[in-house]
Amino acid sequence: MTQTTTPAAAGKDIRFETTRWTIFAILIQTYILVYFHRMAPAVVSEFLMADFNTSGTRLGALAAIYFAVYAVMQIPSGVIADTLGTRTSIVSGNAVAGIGAILFGLAPSFEAACAGRFLVGLGVSVVFISIMKNNSVWFHEKVFGMMSGLTLLFGNLGAVLAAGPLSKLLTVFAWRSVFMGIGGLSLCLALAGFFIVRNRPEDLGFQPPNRYKADTGASSRHWLTSLKSVITTLRVWPGFWVQFGMIGSAYAFMGLWAMPFLRDVYGLSRAVAADHMTVMLLSFAIGALFWGWQSDRAGKRKPFLLAGAAGYTLCWPALMFLPWSPGPAGFLLFGLMGFTAAAFVITFAAAKEIVDPRLSGMGVSVVNTGCFVGTAITQPLFGYIADLTWDGTMADGVRIYAAGDYHNGFLAMFALSAFSLAAAFRVRETYCRNSSGIGGEA
């Protein structure tokens, strides 16, 4: 007997699709600003060093504040997403980040800039986990890898905006004005989140896209008990270490040290150096979608993660020892680094598929913490290593490092990437299905 869809049912399906993609759009606009804040210090580094009279170590510390508070907040973010929901996270996160960006733009001193950067990191720290939770609730689990990649693809548009476009914008507006404007936009998105975002399809009378077996008690347990069950799941932790080494080094490079490296060693202007960063960031964005989509399509996680981690690790010796130069060869190398590093997106899907699906926010938050712990350590560590051999050269109040100073820092990056490759071998293959025993029903 052929089933037909009634006009009322068809209308409800259209409303459901419109609603979930509208919510996704609000969250993605917020996430674009997350990446903007993450990568912008690389472009404004010379202004920060000149305005606040900082060394490489202090500049690295200023940039790393964002990542440090982000790292500390990842597990609390998972708890918030699983208990209070996406709407609370997005509204409060945008409000705090907006105030922080405005304070950063107005900062009269290095300490005030640090306070602003702290608030920005605190506000945006809840965004990604909330989007992952939203994706697991509003979309079918079979497309979670692709949705993770799509999220990072759009999010990285913010990183792209923080490269070439921001560099050009700084020829017209002061860096302080740009950050105050971004702060105002965050406050507008907080209002949009309040009126539009909802935690679950059921909140608006829709059927959820995923159905699970009988409740095992995760929804009724105290959140501390649920968190303990996630943290003590040892299979979650290899993903943490993959992100620690792989994305910790990649974000430290993309988000702070790549621009000074191209300026000091190759004499590139801010605009031309930003073009190289734009290629790397676009490749990272496209790679995130590619790796997530291909993993879903093949029904496997681990082979794609290993391929990306191995390719990324090999990029560091290429950067240090191959006779490349800015231009086509530089664009190719930077693009390859970004594309291969993006394979880390698979760790999110793997984590979600290891834990109880009702605790997906906490599972994703554990592995995501590795990224920001790694970056928070690597950014100032790189500056410290460069300062150790710095010969005292300065230009307009900005420290100029030699090729050897950067080479020493890149050795640390290579060690971190090799460590992440070793951790990738320990990630469990889930075959794109929840393996906690509470998988979705057919």
SS (H, E, C) the chain: CCCCCCHHHHHHHHHHHHHHHHHHHHHHHHHHHHHHHHHHHHHCHHHHHHHHCCCHHHHHHHHHHHHHHHHHHHHHHHHHHHHCCHHHHHHHHHHHHHHHHHHHHHCCCHHHHHHHHHHHHHHHCCHHHHHHHHHHHHCCHHHHHHHHHHHHHHHHHHHHHCCHHHHHHCCCCCHHHHHHHHHHHHHHHHHHHHHHCCCCHHHHCCCCCCCECCCCCCCCCCHHHHHHHHHCCHHHHHHHHHHHHHHHHHHHHHHHHHHHHHHHHHCCCHHHHHHHHHHHHHHHHHHHHHHHHHHHHHCCCHHHHHHHHHHHHHHHHHHHHCCCCCCHHHHHHHHHHHHHHHHHHHHHHHHHCCCCHHHHHHHHHHHHHHHHHHHHHHHHHHHHHHHHHCCCCEECCEECCCHHHHHHHHHHHHHHHHHHHHHHCCCCCCCCCCCCCCCECC
The mean of the pLDDT values for the chain is 88
What would the pLDDT profile of 224-240 be if each residue is shown by its tens digit? 888 888 888 889 999 99
d(CA 66, CA 42): 13
Whole-number percent of the chain with pLDDT over 90: 49
On whether residue 187 sits in a domain, the answer given is yes
d(CA 430, CA 422): 18
What would the pLDDT profile of 60-114 be if each residue is shown by its tens digit? 888 888 888 988 898 898 888 888 999 999 999 999 999 999 999 999 999 999 9
Domain of residue 29 covers: 16-202+222-424
pLDDT given at position 441: 42
On whether residue 60 sits in a domain, the answer given is yes
Tokens standing for residue 328 = 């086509």
CATH number at residue 337: 1.20.1250.20
pLDDT at 38 over 90: no
pLDDT given at position 293: 87
pLDDT given at position 22: 94
Tokens standing for residue 397 = 């109040």
On whether residue 435 sits in a domain, the answer given is no
Name which of 283-292, 318-327, 415-424 the model is least confident about: 283-292
d(CA 226, CA 230): 6
The conformational region for residue 330 under phi > 0 = left, psi -120 to 50 = alpha, else beta, is: alpha
- Domain count across the chain: 1
On whether residue 31 sits in a domain, the answer given is yes
| 362 residue type, one letter | M
pLDDT given at position 119: 96
Beta carbons within 8 Å of 294's beta carbon, 6+ residues apart = 304
On whether residue 4 sits in a domain, the answer given is no
Task: Identify the CA nearest to 350 among candidates 264, 263, 431.
Answer: 431
Name which of 186-195, 257-266, 393-402 the model is least confident about: 393-402
pLDDT at 254 over 90: no
pLDDT band at 440 (very low <50, low <70, confident <90, very high): very low
pLDDT at 266 over 50: yes
On whether residue 81 sits in a domain, the answer given is yes
What would the pLDDT profile of 364-396 be if each residue is shown by its tens digit? 888 988 988 898 899 889 999 999 999 999 888
Please compute the mean of the pLDDT values over residues 245-259 and round it to a whole number: 91
pLDDT band at 401 (very low <50, low <70, confident <90, very high): very high
d(CA 100, CA 426): 39
On whether residue 439 sits in a domain, the answer given is no
On whether residue 310 sits in a domain, the answer given is yes
